[in-house]
Amino acid sequence: MTISAAGRASVAAVLDFAWSAGAFTATDAMTSTALTRSTVIEAIDTLAGIGILRELPNARSAGEYRGGRPARRFEIADDLGVVIGIDSGLSHLAVTVADPFETVLAHRRIEVPRTASAGARRRTLGGLLDAALGEAGVERDSVLALCAGVAAPVNRDGISPPHPDGFWERTNPDLADLLGDWAPVVDVKNDASLAAAAEGAGGAAIGCQDYVALLAGERFGAGVVVDGHLLHGAHGGVGEGVVFDHVVGVGTAYGLRYAIEREVRAAVAAGDFAGSGAVGVLADGKDIDPRTVLELAAGGDADAAVIADRVGETVAIIIGVLGSTFDPLRVIVCGAVADSIEPVLAAARRSLPSQLHLPAPELIASALGADVVSLGAVATARDAARTRAVPAIAQRRLQA
């Protein structure tokens, strides 16, 4: 099919409109695109002819007929393919298969050993991808776009720099190479950046132009949005938490899980708490679940409240650094710990004004839970399907 440059532009404009319009008529498309009726109708017929749009029953058949000739109605075809979002963390792997619009078709999440090698993680992820596609009932060749989030800085080619302890090589075991032929569009991105994308698309940052999404469970890492733009850097290192290794009062990039555990053990060892108390007995275990401490604090336990206050002071220093560096309106604490973090945030809010000269950002807990990176990966893959994969499919079909 031969189509002029102007025709391609009008097809692209109608396709972009149709993506989020639901069922629409030519009049709807005219209003949104400012194209003429004849141009819109030609573009719609072109997209329907190559299977990108499908025609729906007209208004009379749909029970919306009000007189006159019923308008033709269209929507994006529902068989264009699927997208995949991946969360590759230090201790977990997750794969989500979704349609390009709003429905999740399959979600698989497993725990992996923190010390698992890059090769083992690649093999495990391959099996998890196959299992998720099988659960969704779709074939690999139907994948339009894939986005993987990794707990490491990532450059624009999906490559992470070497880490002194091999940490980044484990969380990003050369996924750009592993996943490169899985879809027409494959992106590998930092997990905190994807958390920021999730918060902007469907979380606490909707409509906000200046915010930070702070992943704070295992390690600190920040996804930073300034003037509506997600910041990246030459190596994808904007928001990398290693800076907190060098900040007095923080001293480490390890996240709230470890901060709470350290404070509990230190308080019990110093005799601040009775070893038989609800918090004190936790120090006898190999690991301390931060949620247990935070739930005790929320329930009024005095010892747990002390822990929340001490950790809150540390969080205030972290937010002060981020606030002075990026001047966000809002900082959103994300991840599995967010649903119980309020006692810590309450303490941090009290200390925060003393940590910076700029107005203190609003400090809130994310409502997106442990799957925030997966949600951001799916949102990013959907955007790639809309702006890159499906337009490329349309172009190929037009040239066939």
Tens of pLDDT, residues 217-255: 889 999 999 999 999 999 999 999 999 999 999 999 999
Average pLDDT of span 49-61 = 83
What pLDDT score does 11 carry? 92
CB 267 within 8 A of CB 306: yes
One domain for residues 171 and 140: yes
Dist. CA 306–CA 283, nearest whole Å = 15
What pLDDT score does 275 carry? 85
One domain for residues 108 and 16: no
Domain end residue (candidates: 13, 43, 77): 77
- Name the residue range of residue 46's domain: 5-77
- What is the identity of the amino acid at 381? A
Confirm whether 338 is domain-assigned.
yes
- Judging by beta carbons within 10 Å of its beta carbon (0-12, 13-18, 19+), is residue 61 exposed, middle or buried? exposed
pLDDT digits (tens, 9 = 90+) for 347-391: 999 999 999 999 999 999 999 999 999 999 999 999 999 999 999
One domain for residues 280 and 174: no
pLDDT digits (tens, 9 = 90+) for 263-303: 999 999 999 998 889 999 999 888 999 999 999 999 999 99
* Mean pLDDT estimate for the chain: 94
Task: Count CB neighbours of 52 within 10 A.
Answer: 23
What pLDDT score does 7 carry? 75
One domain for residues 296 and 336: yes
In the DSSP assignment, the letter for residue 275 is T
248 phi and psi, to 5 degrees? Answer: -60, 130
Give the pair of three-digit tokens for residue 146.
């894939």
Domain end residue (candidates: 77, 95, 116): 77
Band of residue 8 on the pLDDT scale cut at 50, 70, 90: confident
**pLDDT above 60 for 393:** yes
One domain for residues 298 and 176: no
* CATH code of the domain covering residue 110: 3.30.420.40
Dist. CA 200–CA 208, nearest whole Å = 7
What pLDDT score does 21 carry? 92
Confirm whether 249 is domain-assigned.
yes
One domain for residues 134 and 232: no
What pLDDT score does 285 carry? 86
What pLDDT score does 65 carry? 52
Domain end residue (candidates: 77, 102, 117): 77
One domain for residues 382 and 345: no
Dist. CA 385–CA 378, nearest whole Å = 10
**pLDDT above 60 for 62:** no
One domain for residues 217 and 334: yes
Q: How many CA atoms are closer than 13 Å to the CA of 354, on its beta-carbon side?
A: 8
Confirm whether 201 is domain-assigned.
no
Confirm whether 38 is domain-assigned.
yes
Confirm whether 291 is domain-assigned.
yes
Confirm whether 204 is domain-assigned.
no
Dist. CA 314–CA 256, nearest whole Å = 9
Confirm whether 199 is domain-assigned.
no
Dist. CA 249–CA 317, nearest whole Å = 7
Average pLDDT of span 295-318 = 97
- What is the identity of the amino acid at 75? E
| Helix (H) or strand (E) run with residue 223 in it | strand 221-226
Q: Which residue has the higher pLDDT, 348 or 65?
A: 348
pLDDT digits (tens, 9 = 90+) for 145-190: 999 999 999 999 999 999 998 899 999 999 999 999 999 999 999 9
Band of residue 31 on the pLDDT scale cut at 50, 70, 90: very high
One domain for residues 245 and 115: no
CB 304 within 8 A of CB 292: no
How many residues can be counted in the chain?
A: 400
pLDDT digits (tens, 9 = 90+) for 196-215: 999 999 999 999 999 999 99
Structural domains of the chain, count: 3
What pLDDT score does 61 carry? 53
Percent of the chain with pLDDT over 70: 96
**pLDDT above 90 for 399:** no
Lowest mean pLDDT, pick from 49-53, 65-69, 178-182: 65-69
One domain for residues 160 and 100: yes
Q: How many helices (H) and strands (E) does the chain have?
A: 13, 12
Confirm whether 206 is domain-assigned.
no
One domain for residues 286 and 328: yes
Q: Which residues pair with 97 in a beta bridge?
A: 84, 106
Q: CA angle, 7 as apex, 6 and 8 as ends, to 5°?
A: 90
One domain for residues 152 and 179: yes
Percent of the chain with pLDDT over 90: 89
* CATH code of the domain covering residue 28: 1.10.10.10
